[in-house]
Amino acid sequence: MLDYRQCNLRPMTPQDLDMVLMWRNHPKIRQHMLTQHHISHEEHALWYEKSAANLQRKIMLIECNGAAFGLVHFNGIEKNACTEWGFYLSPEAPKGSGTSLGTSALSFAFNALQLHKVCGQVLDSNHASIRFHERFGFKLEGRLREQVPISSEFQDLLCFGLLKTEWSQHAVDKG
Ligand SMILES: CC(C)(COP(=O)(O)OP(=O)(O)OC[C@H]1O[C@@H](n2cnc3c(N)ncnc32)[C@H](O)[C@@H]1OP(=O)(O)O)[C@@H](O)C(=O)NCCC(=O)NCCS
């Protein structure tokens, strides 16, 4: 089991591109994303280039003893404002990795980035991510009905939100 106290977040660099693409294209990850096509190296490189040039966007990797095992991104970053996040683990990440990623990323969001609120959007079928958001104290704020076309049907999209005050209280309660 990973211990979040031994983990740290760092910005993604161009050297991480291949590893991150492997994670993102893996069926275990891809099936939970809002866009589920196979991403090419070109599309991935363009995504990274655009993201790196956007001052309101951060793509961070979480690592333990120098080995990266997950990615988290924040979009629309502004002090005291609401920001979207998204994340995924390496398909080989050990148990406890999600908890370490969430703890480190939310501490970064509210302490370093000084955000007011973090928002996440989750497909109705993604039970692990729904549990994950609830575990960190996120509130379900809305359900966009039949919002995302997946294969031959539409899935509901769940909107979760966590306020800085709720995160502080969650951190106190968890000790
Ligand atoms: C969403 C995601 C990050 C969630 O991670 P996770 O599986 O909850 O990560 P963990 O390894 O911390 O938790 C696995 C289980 O171990 C449990 N666990 C974690 N740390 C624990 C600890 N210290 N003690 C006891 N149990 C623990 C968790 O409660 C969880 O149990 P559950 O499956 O019954 O809820 C991961 O599933 C993932 O990357 N999914 C694919 C991509 C994705 O869906 N991204 C989000 C899109 S919205």
Centroid of ligand 1 to alpha carbon of 4 (angstroms): 13
Centroid of ligand 1 to alpha carbon of 76 (angstroms): 25
Centroid of ligand 1 to alpha carbon of 174 (angstroms): 17
Answer yes or no: is pLDDT of 25 > 80. Answer: yes
97 Cβ inside 6 Å of ligand 1 = yes
pLDDT tens, position by position, 10-22: 999 999 999 999 9
Give the pLDDT of residue 97: 94
Q: Is the pTM above the cut of 0.75?
A: yes
103 Cβ inside 6 Å of ligand 1 = no
Query: Could you tell me what percent of the chain has a pLDDT over 90?
Result: 87
Give the pLDDT of residue 107: 96
What value does the mean pLDDT take over residues 45-70?
A: 96
Tell me which residue has tokens 């549990």.
131
pLDDT tens, position by position, 99-147: 999 999 999 999 999 999 999 999 999 999 999 999 999 999 999 999 9
Query: Could you tell me what percent of the chain has a pLDDT over 70?
Result: 98
pLDDT band at 175, cuts 50/70/90? Answer: low
Centroid of ligand 1 to alpha carbon of 131 (angstroms): 8
Answer yes or no: is pLDDT of 75 > 90. Answer: yes
The minimum-distance atom of ligand 1 relative to the CA of 129 is: 1
Centroid of ligand 1 to alpha carbon of 98 (angstroms): 5
For residue 117, CA distances in Å to 55, 67, 76, 168 come to 18, 29, 11, 12
Answer yes or no: is pLDDT of 78 > 70. Answer: yes
136 Cβ inside 6 Å of ligand 1 = no
Print the SS3 string covering 52-85.
Answer: HHCCCEEEEEEEECCEEEEEEEEECCCCCCEEEE
